[in-house]
Amino acid sequence: MGEDMSDGHEHNGHENVPSRQRRRFPGISSRAYEHPADRSALVALRKLSGFDTVFKALSGLLPERSLRLLFLSDSVRVSDQQFTHLNDMLRDACYILDLEKVPPMYVNQDPVPNAMCIGLDEPIIVVTTGLVELLDEEEMRAVIGHEVGHALSGHSVYRTILLFLTSLAVRVAWIPLGNLAIMAIVTALREWFRKSELSADRAGLLVGQDLQSSMRGLMKIAGGNHLHEMNVDAFLKQAEEYEAGGDLRDSVLKILNVLPRSHPFTTVRAAELKKWAESRDFQRLMDGHYPRRSEDKDTSVTDSFRESASHYADHVKSSKDPLMKLVTDIAGGAGDLGGRVRRGFGGFTGTTTAPPKDEPRRNDTDDTDDQGSGSSGS
């Protein structure tokens, strides 16, 4: 069962736990909060031709000491003497998620709000001054929990490889075939990392245990420190509009827009986190029913992949995105798909394709029958 903890409690060397009661999760496995898409994308990544070779080579070429010097030469290490409030939050997060070894954390001078967890042998956490100045205490607690979640899931290794390959791709851009090979792996890594961010957002909620703080943090990352000008419900409405709005052209543009990104769009992250926070799985986890690390070795890869496949199937069926609706209709054998595709893409030329003479003209609402008042985002 999960355990409550209160101010002044001490366990395994962790001190200065949060000032209000929060539940902790002894022995929790990262499987408890990992998004199914995170696991399936990682499986697909590992199957990518050449990935194992590149991974093994880079693991040998990038010693941990060099990485720390590369990324942290001008940063301030968080400790009892420096950024003590962040140090307390870090130890709190590790205590709640039962991460025995507290990873080192650094503050890096950068006005862009950002945080990352990197490292091959051992994870290290980096937060920028822009982020520290932007977020309040509870919002920052969720972010640090997010990064500790990355550490517990072992994401830091692949994140480090992604950073190195992205840099390498720029250097070898003049070599056509070499660059193509690297970019194929970079693209696959980015797809996985976007999914892993959804998992880490869940870990951040487990640490902060305050959904509104998590929502506010995401809003601030999107719109800056202007909370008096923003509204959580309106922000989540944007995610619903992004998901359901437009036609097939917009669906394609969404894919093209997200490909170069390492993170999902902020409104989408907020909607996904809210959906999970309202789920039965989250409530069971908070009640102390969750998989333990001691059981990880007995976990079936096949079962994990089946769960991920089921998640994708449910996502496609419930999605309001025009392209996903089309995929569902194709799978269901719906008629008039040719006409729907023509109408969906007609806007690329600035025109809409009229139906054939022997095909009755359909009302505009025919294509939006399923776009009711469902939950925000997916």
Query: Is 33:206 a contact under the CB 8 Å cutoff?
Result: yes
Question: Which residues, listed in sequence order, are joined to residue 228 by a DSSP beta bridge?
Answer: none
Cβ burial of 53 (10 Å; 0-12, 13-18, 19+) is exposed
Q: Which of 34, 138, 147, 243 is the catalytic position? A: 147
Q: How many Å apart are CA 284 and CA 301, to the nearest integer?
A: 23
Nearest by Cα to 375 from 192, 240, 176? 240
Torsional class of 224: left (φ above 0), alpha (ψ -120 to 50), beta (otherwise): left
DSSP assignment of 168-224, as one string?
Answer: HHHHTTTSHHHHHHHHHHHHHHHHHHHHHHHHHHHHHHHHH--HHHHHHHHHHHHH-
Beta strands across the sheet bearing 105-108: 75-77, 105-108, 124-128, 115-118
| Backbone phi and psi for residue 5, each to the nearest 5 degrees, phi listed first | -140, 150
Instruction: Considering only the C-alpha atoms of the chain, give the largest distance between any 2 of them, rounded to a whole number of Å.
Output: 79
Map residue 321 onto helix, strand or coil.
coil
Cβ burial of 158 (10 Å; 0-12, 13-18, 19+) is buried
Q: How many Å apart are CA 361 and CA 177, to the nearest integer?
A: 49
Name the DSSP letter for residue 369. T
| Backbone phi and psi for residue 11, each to the nearest 5 degrees, phi listed first | -155, 130
Q: How many Å apart are CA 74 and CA 38, to the nearest integer?
A: 32
Give the DSSP H or E segment for 50: none
Catalytic residue flag (residue 15): no
Map residue 290 onto helix, strand or coil.
coil
Which residues carry out catalysis? Answer: 147
